[in-house]
Amino acid sequence: MAKDGQELRSKAKDHVVFPVVSPQEVSKMGPLVFTRGEGIYVWDVDGKRYMDSMASGVYAVHVGYGRKEIAKAMGEQASRLHYFCPYGYISEPVIKLGEKLAELAPGDLSMTFFTCDGSEAVESAFKIAKQWAYHQGYRRKYKIISRRRAYHGSTMGALAATGTMSPLRKIMEPLPPGYRFASAPYCYRCDFGLSYPDCALQCADSVEQIILHQGPDNVAAFIGEMVMAAGGCIVPPPEYWPRIREICSKHGVLLIDDEVVCGFGRTGKFFGVEHYGIKPDIMTMAKCLTSGYSPLGATITKPEIIRDMPAFWHVHTYNNHPVSCTAAIENIRIIEEENLVQNSAEVGKYLLEGLRSFSNHPSVGDVRGLGLLTAIEFVKDKSTKERFPEDQAFCGRIMDLALDEGVILRRVEDIIEFCPPLIITKSEVDEMIEITDRAITQAEKEFGLQHN
Ligand SMILES: Cc1ncc(COP(=O)(O)O)c(C=O)c1O
């Protein structure tokens, strides 16, 4: 086994380009070659078992690994009809999934454009917004407002709405023009140096200031995740989204709710937007739409937005893929039948309480979350919220220690997020908490951080 593992690792390094990870990091990680999964666990080629605290590292696997019923349904669809071109032709699973999403989505969102992933779903949302504005008679209503710290994807349009200056974005500039960034509702590190509720939601009002500055006739849409996931698990105050909805409606700007991570139960409601009681104009989905069993993204909107378009001028060969839509139908059936949204709410609360018990650690600055989207933000100094210098890989050390004990963690800067598959049980949470606690204590010792 070990020899196979080494051979595979070496071939992977020689023949595969890894996204966003340097060859040095790949070598350090192995890379880990996984061969199978079951529940919330995956096994590597050497037979070691790992607990997945991040639903595959990217918040995707809601129903867990090894779901034979999804594989069976996909296999049956692939042998019946695996694909046909999407321009005017369609197959049954696509219609069935479109109908199901219309039933689940808030308000009158009922028309879905299917893509292959989340970035394409976001690109499609922007193109729907721009084309909608065009057919309303506006020729310059093309600008998109996003927020700092937001992640909306890696294709050029989605990347242009990504509010980080990481190499992901910086190296690819110039990106498409017309994107503007408002402040994130990041209460722990408020851009305005204010505290909620005295802040009177300046971060939401900054969206209106940008719209007014650009001119409402030049702004097509605002995009945001209900809870910013890759931005560091940022949960806005309850009034934030209603205020944004009001601003968008007042100025004729479409509101795009990016549910690529928050959707399908991640935050303890079917869609993240249900926590805030608002109705978006367009919603994007991917990842947990199929739990990763097959690539699929979706952009759902209102009939009135599509109605005035002679055609929607955007296309990919694999729009409306029947096998991926079949995977989504089975995935949603499991989420509903096994009450996974409720499990996310209940076990998520338990997980958050467990993480809050870490508050006496000298490095734990903030603990936050909603449902099974939770995080700890680590700091070098709690009283000043000083960050660790970039070269002091404190969180990296926590992750290495946890990995040795069989728990895979993921971080964004100095924030470690805990977003396991929605099937996780309380006793599995206990195991994750215990191992993480030991890893934090050991890392603090090594970095000279003292408990009071
Ligand atoms: C909120 C959000 N939108 C869009 C995307 C892009 O999705 P994909 O990686 O499937 O292209 C991501 C990916 O992490 C995301 O977190």
Closest Cα to atom 7, ligand 1: which residue?
118
Question: Mean pLDDT across the chain, nearest whole number?
Answer: 95
User: What pLDDT does residue 284 have?
Assistant: 99
Q: With beta carbons less than 8 A apart as the criterion, state whether 300 and 128 touch.
A: no
User: What pLDDT does residue 248 have?
Assistant: 98
Which band of pLDDT confidence, cut at 50, 70 and 90, is reported for residue 119? very high
State the Cα angle at 386 between 380 and 389, rounded to 5°: 65
Q: Is the CB of 126 under 6 A from ligand 1?
A: no
Which band of pLDDT confidence, cut at 50, 70 and 90, is reported for residue 308? confident
Distance 423 CA to ligand 1 centre (A): 22
Q: Is the CB of 258 under 6 A from ligand 1?
A: yes
User: What pLDDT does residue 168 have?
Assistant: 87
For strands 373-378 and 415-418, give the pairing. antiparallel
Which band of pLDDT confidence, cut at 50, 70 and 90, is reported for residue 244? very high
Q: Is the CB of 257 under 6 A from ligand 1?
A: no
Q: Among 8-12, 79-83, 112-116, 225-229, where is mean pLDDT lowest?
A: 8-12
User: What pLDDT does residue 110 have?
Assistant: 98
Q: In the CATH scheme, what is the code of domain 69-337?
A: 3.40.640.10
| Dihedral of alpha carbons 195, 199, 200, 202, sign | negative
Confidence check: pLDDT of 314 > 90: yes
Distance 229 CA to ligand 1 centre (A): 10
Q: What does the pLDDT look like over 178-209, one tens digit per residue? A: 999 999 999 999 999 999 999 999 999 999 99
Cα 135 to Cα 51, 247, 310, 418, distances in angstroms: 50, 22, 9, 43
Q: With beta carbons less than 8 A apart as the criterion, state whether 189 and 379 touch.
A: no
User: What pLDDT does residue 166 have?
Assistant: 82
Confidence check: pLDDT of 2 > 80: no
Confidence check: pLDDT of 65 > 50: yes
pTM beyond 0.95: yes
- What phi-psi label fits residue 193: left (phi over 0), alpha (psi between -120 and 50 degrees) or beta? left
Q: With beta carbons less than 8 A apart as the criterion, state whether 294 and 327 touch.
A: yes
Which band of pLDDT confidence, cut at 50, 70 and 90, is reported for residue 25? confident
State the Cα angle at 413 between 412 and 416, rounded to 5°: 50
Cα 272 to Cα 85, 92, 105, 269, 280, distances in angstroms: 33, 28, 11, 6, 11
Closest Cα to atom 13, ligand 1: which residue?
153
Paired strand residues for 377: 366, 415
Distance 54 CA to ligand 1 centre (A): 14
Q: What does the pLDDT look like over 38-47, one tens digit per residue? A: 999 999 999 9
For the CA of 297, the nearest atom of ligand 1: 10
User: What pLDDT does residue 390 have?
Assistant: 78
User: What pLDDT does residue 31 have?
Assistant: 86
Q: Is the CB of 347 under 6 A from ligand 1?
A: no
Reduce the secondary structure of 273-312 to three states and give it as a string.
HHHCCCCCCEEEECHHHCCCCCCCEEEEECHHHHHCCCCC
Q: What does the pLDDT look like over 360-386, one tens digit per residue? A: 999 999 999 999 999 999 999 999 999
- Parts of the chain belonging to CATH 3.40.640.10: 69-337
For 326, the 3-state DSSP assignment is: helix
- 78 burial (CB, 10 Å; 0-12 / 13-18 / 19+) is middle
User: What pLDDT does residue 452 have?
Assistant: 62
Distance 192 CA to ligand 1 centre (A): 28
User: What pLDDT does residue 1 have?
Assistant: 47
Closest Cα to atom 4, ligand 1: which residue?
152
Distance 117 CA to ligand 1 centre (A): 8
Confidence check: pLDDT of 30 > 90: no
